[in-house]
Structure 1
Amino acid sequence: MTTATRPVTPPVVPGLVAIVGFLVCVELASGILQGYYTPVLSDIARHLGIRDADVNWFEAAQLVVSALVVPLLARLGDLWGHRQVLLLSTGVTAVASWGVAVAPDFTTFLVAWALQGCYVVWLPLEIAIIHRRTAASGAQGRLTRRGAALLVAALELGVIAGALTSGALVGTLGMTGLLALPAVAVTVCFVVIWWGIAPTPPAASGRLDLPGLGLVTLLISLVMAGLVLVRVVGPGSLLPWVALLLGALVVWPFVRVESRTPEPLIDVRLLGTPAQWPVQLTAFLFGVSVLGAQIPLSTFARTDPAVTGYGLGASAAFVSTLIGVYVVSLLLGALALPLAARLLSTRGAMLAACLLVALGYGLFLPLHDTTTQTLLNLGIAGTGSGVLVAALPAAAAAAAPPDRTGFVTGMTNTTKTIGGAIASALFAIALSATGSLEVAEVGAAPLSGYLTVWAICSGTALVAALSLLVVPRDAFAD
């Protein structure tokens, strides 16, 4: 006689619900930072006495700082403890947020805004905390994915809440008071981490790899400077290409040094394993659409079809609605990750998400004439993007040794940021091409430029899906 076996319920991890709850508060604050300022950027420009075009320096400066600090802070999380570094980065972000609120001039504001980029390491560190806390559960990967899904859902809710709040208060509060609200949220977030999350022991031993830190700083600085210069001085100038070439030349000594270092800052051998490089490549390619395509989508929606023959002719308020639909689809995608991983496996869920992103942006090529078409395309691409935002750091952690979880989760954000920066530069070139005389006279980008943007976003998502086929089937299993 055979006895039916019942599925084993994974053991309850003491305190895990409370930890995830506190980390959800952190991601709400992260979402507020990411959504709050966008509706009032023009008002900030007036407050600082600068042109709207100078606002681009905010994004450029924060991208550079984000790309530089994430590898350092992620590695320090493994060496010092992930909660300790999460607290440190939150403290820096809180000080920077208050600096943004009280900055008397453009330079001070720009420095404070750039330092706010330390928040991008929060999600990787939080997932590393959950991953380590569930190590003895027998369901580490599954619980980490569930936690990541909740964190990303909280992040997207924070984005919506931040955008709605600033838009509602911009006419009633002075600029200092308006900009102080995100600083209050981050300060509360610091207290929540300090009070609610116990210190975590270091996951790794050894010292910080200073030669590797110097080389990776030089490498990222040159690459990011080149990409920023492409947007600022244009692709016709020699300076950005010199910076990019010098950055490429630094890759060889950097890889040699890190390969020979016992405890490297950037573990190139680990990143080269079949379970890691496709994840990191997917993060890089995902950055093209999730970070690089948002401004082109906004400007396309604002373009008047009566003048150019394309665009939606949308108002600023309706563009906010489009962004809201996209963010809601991200939220739903993130929440769908645990179910999708259970039905398709983690690799299958990520592969399906890449195909959704490719489909969503690919549909823009024939279907971009109406608001309904745009909403449909954004909803499809956003759902896939939401799955990837939650799945990438969780998958990287599942396929890494215990002493490198902070490093690999942080690298997914670093590669995503660099992918977005490269895409921003390429898209700026594509959209600066000259169209018809009528289009050029109103300052609009040509339709061919937008078609190029959407084709690149779709194509990079397809390449990411193909790369995930290399990952072993059980790479992310418990």
Structure 2
Amino acid sequence: MTAPSEGIRLPEDRAGRTIWVLVFAGIVTTLMSTLVIPLLGELPAILGTSPANASWVVTVTLLAGAVATPVTGRLGDMYGARRILLLCTIPLIVGSFVCAMSSSLWPMLIGRALQGAGFGIVPLGISALRSLVPPERLGSAIALMSSSLGIGGALGLPVAAIVAQTTSWRMLFWGVGILSVVMTLLIAWFVREAPVRETRGRFDGFGAVGLAVALVCLLLAVSKGGDWGWTAVTTVTLFVVSLVVFLGWGRWELRTGSPLVDLRVAMGNRVLVTNIVTILIGFSMYFQALLVPQIRLLPESTGYGLGQSMIVMGLWCAPAGLLMMAISPLGARLTTLRGPRTTLCTGCLMMAVAYGSSVVLMGSTWGLLVITCSIAAGIGLAYGAIPTLLMGAVPRTEVSSANSVNTLLRSLGGTVSAAVAGVVLAQMSVAFAGNLIPTENGFLVGMLIGGASALLAALATVGIRGEQPSVPGTPPVAGPVLSQPDTAPRPAATDRVVG
């Protein structure tokens, strides 16, 4: 074990470089999630396989990210965020280059799985910022880093569309591979390692395997249930196995002295409610990400499609990502003045109102831009406040782990929303030019479901208790956690209770 430490506070100029290096790392990482969307129609021909098999190019990245994110978060708490950040860049680089050289299904799947294994960079970056950035800049830095999850996804689509349609598809993967190398060098040069406090013993390998099995079964059932059938034996079996393994995993985590995820901390009010809100936000935000591009791409002859090309559609989606980046510092200021719960609730309400405006704005290009930008602004506020709430509620030794689990829950919410949107659109489709396409009402219902989820998230924030008031000029997190070393001995896992 190492002695407790107060961490490092960098000078202003070095802090600024550290923030932007980590934000760049987060954006590069999340580019991987939208990288293959422009290629989905061409992947079967590119890889010489069926459309069903080609869809695994997306699914395998999701599964790998779900398994790796909580593991790398725990390792970051034990051995230092910078060290594990650099470790996470290795699969990103290797996976990108493997994909670039692939001509068949299996190499592409291996490369995409490796890319997913690097998805823990954002929560690790948040943990590093907490230890390195001066208090007066911490709120805005965390908000910007957290929002990079949405910024990279929003900007990735137009960039990927332009590259895919003007050059070889392989350039997409060569490009992100080179960006990943640059990201690694920048982290190595500009991000310092804060002192590490190993107060929780050895790594929980059994818990990591149990969580991985439970998550893979759950996400496979959710993401593939529409293709296999929701009542198919495979789908039902995966759901049952996931439930059983989750229960066994939870029992193990409560009994072991060095759990992968401290469930006693996770069940405390602020952490539990914040994570529930996170799932609802993830569920909500993906509806517009899934539905708006389809509306833009459908032919104008449908009466509600806008007939845009992939490149034009991507360019119309790009302003949302830029706005999300711009709104993050404003969200940090609101958090400093009113507290993170207020910022989180405001962001959720903005999303709900934006989705509700679909009733009158969905039929035009500019109307869709207003909707997506308003939702992006709400996401920027909400995502910026969530890490602040978590860091004020968990021990310093579990910051990376808590943010990693929260990031995983965002992805889980998005996966469920994709399945629900697929069911809604499939049930509300009509024949057009020999194909089934969603009706206008189908898109509207989907958008209203996204709005209802955002409204539920806003209502759920009322249940967050114990928020400490913020003081202007200081970071909006629990003061003792940031400014004082945690020197008190930790109680044993069997009798520790965190409220």
Query: What band does the TM-score fall into relative to the shorter chain?
Result: 0.7 to 0.9
Aligned pair partner of 1:369 in 353, 363, 366? 363
Moved over 6 A (4+): 153-157
Whichever residue aligns with residue 249 of structure 1, its letter is: V
- How many residue pairs get aligned? The number is 461
How far does residue 320 in structure 1 lie from its aligned partner after superposition?
Answer: 1.2
Aligned pair partner of 1:450 in 443, 459, 473? 443
Q: 1:331 matched to which residue of 2?
A: 325
Alignment of 1:34-433 (within 5 A): 34=33, 36-42=35-41, 46-50=45-49, 54-134=53-133, 139=135, 143-151=137-145, 163=157, 165-170=159-164, 173-205=167-199, 206-304=201-299, 306-307=301-302, 309-433=303-427
Whichever residue aligns with residue 238 of structure 2, its letter is: A
How far does residue 354 in structure 1 lie from its aligned partner after superposition?
Answer: 0.6
- Contact 2:35–2:157 (Cα < 8 Å) also in 1: yes
How far does residue 95 in structure 1 lie from its aligned partner after superposition?
Answer: 0.9
Q: 1:468 matched to which residue of 2?
A: 461
**Farther off after superposition, 348-357 or 377-386:** 377-386
Whichever residue aligns with residue 104 of structure 1, its letter is: S
TM-superposition CA deviations, 1:175-224 (whole Å, max 9, x none): 44453111011012112222322334333331112232222122112101
Q: 1:353 to 1:281 in 2, by over 3 A?
A: same
Q: 1:331 to 1:34 in 2, by over 3 A?
A: farther
How far does residue 22 in structure 1 lie from its aligned partner after superposition?
Answer: 2.8
Give TM-score, length-normalised by structure 2.
0.84
Q: 1:258 to 1:161 in 2, by over 3 A?
A: closer
- Contact 1:235–1:429 (Cα < 8 Å) also in 2: no
Whichever residue aligns with residue 127 of structure 1, its letter is: I
Output the CA distance in 1 between the equivalents of 2:15 and 2:288. Answer: 36
Secondary structure of the corresponding residue to residue 202 of structure 2: coil
TM-superposition CA deviations, 1:411-467 (whole Å, max 9, x none): 11111111111111122111111544x459432023443233222211211121122
**Farther off after superposition, 114-123 or 333-342:** 333-342
- Contact 1:127–1:144 (Cα < 8 Å) also in 2: no
Give TM-score, length-normalised by structure 1.
0.88
How far does residue 358 in structure 1 lie from its aligned partner after superposition?
Answer: 1.2
What residue ranges of structure 2 are gaps of 5+ in the alignment? 1-7, 469-476, 480-499
Percent identity of the aligned residues?
Answer: 21
Q: 1:322 to 1:439 in 2, by over 3 A?
A: same
Q: 1:162 to 1:258 in 2, by over 3 A?
A: closer
**Farther off after superposition, 70-79 or 11-20:** 11-20
**Farther off after superposition, 391-400 or 259-268:** 391-400
Output the CA distance in 2 between the equivalents of 1:331 and 1:281. Answer: 24
Output the CA distance in 2 between the equivalents of 1:289 and 1:253. Answer: 30
Q: 1:7 matched to which residue of 2?
A: none
**Farther off after superposition, 13-22 or 35-44:** 35-44
Alignment of 1:7-18 (within 5 A): 13-14=10-11, 15-18=14-17
Whichever residue aligns with residue 120 of structure 2, its letter is: V
- Contact 1:434–1:440 (Cα < 8 Å) also in 2: no
What residue ranges of structure 1 are gaps of 5+ in the alignment? 1-10
- Contact 2:158–2:317 (Cα < 8 Å) also in 1: no
- Contact 1:152–1:331 (Cα < 8 Å) also in 2: no
Whichever residue aligns with residue 254 of structure 2, its letter is: S
**Farther off after superposition, 291-300 or 168-177:** 168-177
Output the CA distance in 2 between the equivalents of 1:377 and 1:470. Answer: 28
How far does residue 17 in structure 1 lie from its aligned partner after superposition?
Answer: 2.8
Q: 1:215 to 1:78 in 2, by over 3 A?
A: same
Whichever residue aligns with residue 263 of structure 1, its letter is: S
Output the CA distance in 2 between the equivalents of 1:229 and 1:172. Answer: 32
Q: 1:289 to 1:119 in 2, by over 3 A?
A: farther
Whichever residue aligns with residue 179 of structure 2, its letter is: A
Q: 1:159 to 1:461 in 2, by over 3 A?
A: closer
- Contact 1:279–1:392 (Cα < 8 Å) also in 2: yes
Q: 1:4 matched to which residue of 2?
A: none
